[in-house]
Amino acid sequence: MLFHVRMDVNIPLDMDAAVAAEIKAREKAYSQGLQRSGKWRHIWRLAGEYANYSVFDVDSNQELHDILTELPLYPYMRISVQPLCRHPSSIREDDR
């Protein structure tokens, strides 16, 4: 199942810089592992914002929920999710 996910990050301005850096490092490692596994298929930064658009390829709504809630930055995010389905004009056979 493919999902389009927008993530807007809002780290508190008064958070200790070292704490923020540690959370961001864990976030990067976690997200890159998911990318390598194929679960997190695409990620794009939104220019001028601390936000991204991503595409996830997971087996269920619950799996996506579990992945998102395990993000180290999750407590500081506003997330919106839209399910995707293959467009009949797509030439990509690997999209479900």
Residue 44 lies in a domain: yes
57: which DSSP letter? E
Confidence of residue 96 (pLDDT cuts 50, 70, 90): low
- pLDDT tens readout for residues 37-74: 999 999 999 999 999 999 999 999 999 999 999 999 99
Helix (H), strand (E) at residue 43: strand 40-45
Query: Domain span at residue 10?
Result: 2-84
Residue 51 lies in a domain: yes
Residue 19 lies in a domain: yes
pLDDT (0 to 100) of residue 71: 98
The alpha carbons of the chain give a radius of gyration, in whole angstroms, of 15
CATH code, domain with 17: 3.30.70.1060
Residue 90 lies in a domain: no
Total count of domains within the chain: 1
**Do the Cβ atoms of 81 and 31 come closer than 8 Å?**
no
